[in-house]
Amino acid sequence: MNSASRRIDVHQHLLPPFYRDALAGHGIAEAGGRALPAWSPEAALEQMDLLGTETAILSVSTPGTGFLAHSGEAAAMAGRLNDFSAALAAGHPARFGWFATVPLPDAAAAAREAERSLAGLGADGVTLLANTAGDYLGADGQDALWRVLDEHGAIAFVHPAELPGPAVAGIPPFAADFLLDTTRAAYLLVRCGVVRRYPRIRFVLSHAGGFVPYASHRMAVALAADTGRSPLDILEDLRGFYFDTALSSSPAALPTLLAFARPGHVLFGSDWPFAPAAAGQYFATGLDSGVDPGTLAAVNRGNAEALFPRLAGARVPAPAARPFSSRLRQSVRRAGARAVFRLVQPGTD
């Protein structure tokens, strides 16, 4: 592991074997237009060492439990996923944290599982898909969940799902639709007043918030016309979200994100294993090469330490020396990522 980085990755996924089997049983072999990747704790740790990540907060990606039509089945699957995640984190307390899966759109069941996970299992927060079968965050009837999360001062990690309605041929959902899905959820959480009524919930938006930073002022004008509120107040609500850098530390996206977000509200994310190792290294290199040392230290770790106080000051013992072949593969991968980044951003050292 690159001990100089000591990143805290708030956007890393897990796919337990029983969950993969359940997806396969429902004919699901991909998420967001990408084939379900291989996953194991050992592979996760290897990738973390490659990126200089000390701790990863794990979450279940789309479709969550939304592929299960019966609410009881969804709740049972969420419980099983959370038990698995809690045990994994307990076995690697300095390397893994976890966000609980909740069985939306059943808000009452989601509230019960959130309470169980936060109070009884030690979850670091919850994962909320932007929409579940077309039911978006911010819709009516979700207050039971918001109350529980607010009471715990919980972190809610908002991850996109596939958009309601048919996909467009030739455009995989992860490439563009995911960004719109997160943006829709953020818009509705502000429009419907969730962020104001439940101020103790800390919402983290995946992938730099989708289009939120870029389109924030346009959104504020629309929301002001719709609600009668001040555009400046709406912008403050939008800036109140936290944002991760998963697949977003590019020369175009990163400056926009840093210009928009409140200080302390940008967190490192890799999106592994759905983002392959090369993509993770490419965007990590973009972050490492694109900001000043103080900002880099804050995004890599400091901002997450403030959000997850249990991680502040924690240190992971240096790993045992790996075989030469493994170290060689890592060096080649890093060199490749740097070379690719230089190709798309000339002049980067």
Structural domain for 266, as ranges: 7-344
Sign of CA dihedral 125, 71, 13, 97: positive
Contact 71, 109 (CB under 8 A): yes
Closest CA to 80 of 139, 31, 18: 18
Tally of domains within the chain: 1
| pLDDT at position 341 | 45
| pLDDT at position 89 | 98
Helix (H) or strand (E) holding 56: strand 53-59
Across 234-342, the runs of DSSP E, i.e. the strands, are: 242-244, 266-267
| pLDDT at position 348 | 44
Confidence bin at 136 (pLDDT 50/70/90) = very high
| Residue 196 included in any domain | yes
pLDDT digits (tens, 9 = 90+) for 328-337: 454 545 555 4
Q: For 242, which DSSP code? A: E
| pLDDT at position 329 | 53
| Residue 157 included in any domain | yes
pLDDT digits (tens, 9 = 90+) for 42-97: 999 999 999 999 999 999 999 999 999 899 999 999 999 999 999 999 999 999 99
Please say if the pLDDT value at position 4 is more than 70: no
Please say if the pLDDT value at position 3 is more than 90: no
Contact 203, 195 (CB under 8 A): yes
Written as six digits, the tokens of 12 are 């890393």
Give dist(CA 278, CA 180) in Å, integer.
25
Report phi then psi at 141, rounded to 5.
90, 10
Q: What is the pTM of this model?
A: 0.90
| Residue 226 included in any domain | yes
Give dist(CA 339, CA 349) in Å, integer.
10
Closest CA to 112 of 90, 88, 144: 144
∠ Cα 175 278 269 (to 5°): 65
Residue 100: CATH number of its domain? 3.20.20.140
| Residue 251 included in any domain | yes
Q: Is 6 left (phi over 0), alpha (psi -120 to 50) or beta?
A: left
| pLDDT at position 346 | 46
pLDDT digits (tens, 9 = 90+) for 206-248: 999 999 999 999 999 999 999 999 999 999 999 999 999 999 9
| Residue 2 included in any domain | no
Closest CA to 12 of 165, 206, 183, 168: 206
pLDDT digits (tens, 9 = 90+) for 146-192: 999 999 999 999 999 999 988 899 999 999 999 999 999 999 999 99
| pLDDT at position 35 | 95
| pLDDT at position 349 | 40
Q: Give the Cβ contact number of residue 162 at 10 Å.
A: 21
Confidence bin at 313 (pLDDT 50/70/90) = confident
Give dist(CA 220, CA 131) in Å, integer.
22
pLDDT digits (tens, 9 = 90+) for 248-298: 999 999 999 999 999 999 999 999 999 999 999 999 999 999 999 999 999
| pLDDT at position 314 | 64
| Residue 1 included in any domain | no
∠ Cα 296 129 264 (to 5°): 25
| Residue 308 included in any domain | yes
